[in-house]
């Protein structure tokens, strides 16, 4: 896509190409599910700012809370406490699983992941970490060392942090063992047990980290049976179970956190993206039993828990509750699946439509079932041409993330689905 925007041209001169943006669009305004661009176009933003704007752009209650806090004070650093940040922590812990009752605020998803790894290593006095193939946990050195959604994220950065091992993610649509869900013997879990047998003994593993709903790696929810078995394995070996809910949390799946669909609780969890409607904030959260064993000064931050971000966080949680957005996302997200699934049956290039709530993945395939990034790109281009911003994911960029703000209206949803369906229909 070509852009006539002066800002986009100037950006190319000042930003390293390492900074990759999805579209050459420069926006001048965001409101609800819409963005207006410098070129005078208006788009429906179903990327939700990379899964961040769960209550849309500039929700009035978020804007008001941030403005009110900004007028009083903006920054506390690691110097003083303040009521706004404490209140945001209380609010967040009121929606995390019952066993999660303390947290540490930081700024980004990757930072929260770093915190989770450090906490796990510190309290267990063990070094090993096991993550899963397809996983995406962020770009900092520790986070990228456990990220395997693409080798591109790791290329040029070796050696990565040591004592990190991988087991296969239960991406059942492309089961590497040829199993079908109804006959699956959890071979993925067998591979994880092999890691413990052949590579690192369980007593040296601090943590196993998993996205309960795979994000960047392909938008696939881990089966409940797998997460239950993982919980049981961790308990058996005294390994801490970390759920990375950076992308899947804060109501995205129609529950506060994706793991609720499986009824499994982690020892440690990471939260970011939707936490503060676009203000930089993240958290590593865990049970008091663990957090109180992380001594004073063992971790730190200058900007984490910024009061303006925290005011936005509390307002975001209030909005999700007051507007009944979890229920709405569950019901309407299920209706979206019902509407789109016939495409998977009728259209040879649509392999699967899956998800919970408004975290929906549409996987494109070739006639032989291989990932089809070209088909996915054509549908995304069609959507953009017709005013709908969607983004892809997966190793071959062959999965569309259908992630509207939870506040999307029925009419907006219907309009967007019409555009998407026309794009898919044009593939043939």
Ligand X SMILES: Cc1ncc(COP(=O)(O)O)c(C=O)c1O
Binding residues for ligand X, rule: CB under 6 A, are: 108-110, 113, 136-138, 211, 215-216, 244, 246-247, 272
The distance in angstroms from the start CA to the end CA of the chain is 22
Q: Are 273 and 216 in contact (CB under 8 A)?
A: no
CA 113 to chain centre: 12
The residue (of 110 and 268) whose beta carbon lies closer to ligand X is 110
The residue (of 248 and 314) whose beta carbon lies closer to ligand X is 248
* Nearest distance in Å: CB 402, ligand X: 16
Q: Are 158 and 167 in contact (CB under 8 A)?
A: no
The residue (of 244 and 267) whose beta carbon lies closer to ligand X is 244
* Nearest distance in Å: CB 169, ligand X: 12
The DSSP string of 110-125 is HHHHHHHHHHHHHHH-
Q: Which two tokens stand for residue 338?
A: 């019902």
The residue (of 216 and 267) whose beta carbon lies closer to ligand X is 216
* Nearest distance in Å: CB 193, ligand X: 24
Residue 388 CB-half CA count within 13 A: 25
**CA quadruple 113, 363, 373, 384: dihedral positive or negative?**
negative
Question: For the packed helices 307-322 and 83-93, what is the interaxial angle rounded to 10 degrees?
Answer: 40
SS3 373: helix
> CB 102: neighbour CB atoms within 10 A?
17
* Nearest distance in Å: CB 411, ligand X: 29
* Nearest distance in Å: CB 201, ligand X: 28
* Nearest distance in Å: CB 183, ligand X: 29
* Helical ranges in 36-129 per DSSP H: 48-51, 60-72, 83-93, 109-124
């Amino acid at each position: 896509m070509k852009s006539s925007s002066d800002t986009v041209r100037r950006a190319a001169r000042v930003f390293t190409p390492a900074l990759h943006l999805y579209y050459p669009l420069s926006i001048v305004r965001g409101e609800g599910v819409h963005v207006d661009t410098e070129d005078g176009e208006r788009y429906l933003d179903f990327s939700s700012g990379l899964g961040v704007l769960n209550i849309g752009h500039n929700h009035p209650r978020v804007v008001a809370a941030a403005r009110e806090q900004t007028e009083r004070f903006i920054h506390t650093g690691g110097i003083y406490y303040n009521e706004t940040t404490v209140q945001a922590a209380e609010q967040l812990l009121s929606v995390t699983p019952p066993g999660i009752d303390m947290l540490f605020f930081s700024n980004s998803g990757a930072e929260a992941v770093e915190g989770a790894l450090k906490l796990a290593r510190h309290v267990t006095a063990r070094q090993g970490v096991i993550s899963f193939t397809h996983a995406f946990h962020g770009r900092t050195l520790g986070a990228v060392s456990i990220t395997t959604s693409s080798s591109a994220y790791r290329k040029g950065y070796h050696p990565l942090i040591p004592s990190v091992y991988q087991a296969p993610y239960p991406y059942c649509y492309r089961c590497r063992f040829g199993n079908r869900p109804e006959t699956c013997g959890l071979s993925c879990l067998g591979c994880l047990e092999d890691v413990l047998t052949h590579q690192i003994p369980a007593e040296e593993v601090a943590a196993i980290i998993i996205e309960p709903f795979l994000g960047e790696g392909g938008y696939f929810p881990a089966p409940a049976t797998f997460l239950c078995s993982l919980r049981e394995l961790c308990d058996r070996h005294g390994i801490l179970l970390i759920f990375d809910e950076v992308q899947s949390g804060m109501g995205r799946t129609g529950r506060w956190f994706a793991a609720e669909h499986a009824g499994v609780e982690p020892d440690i969890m990471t939260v970011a993206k939707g936490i503060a409607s676009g203000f930089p904030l993240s958290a590593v959260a865990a049970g008091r039993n663990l957090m109180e064993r992380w001594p004073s000064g063992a971790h730190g931050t200058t900007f984490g828990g910024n009061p303006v971000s925290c005011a936005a966080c509390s307002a975001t949680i209030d909005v999700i509750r007051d507007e009944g957005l979890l229920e709405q996302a569950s019901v309407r997200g299920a209706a979206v699946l019902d509407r789109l699934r016939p495409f998977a049956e009728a259209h040879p290039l649509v392999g699967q439509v899956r998800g919970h709530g408004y975290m929906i993945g549409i996987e494109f395939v070739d006639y032989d079932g291989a990932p089809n990034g070209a088909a996915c790109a054509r549908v995304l281009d069609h959507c953009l041409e017709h005013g709908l911003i969607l983004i892809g994911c997966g190793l071959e960029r062959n999965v569309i993330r259908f992630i509207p703000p939870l506040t999307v209206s029925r009419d907006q949803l219907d309009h967007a689905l019409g555009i998407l369906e026309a794009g898919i229909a044009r593939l043939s």
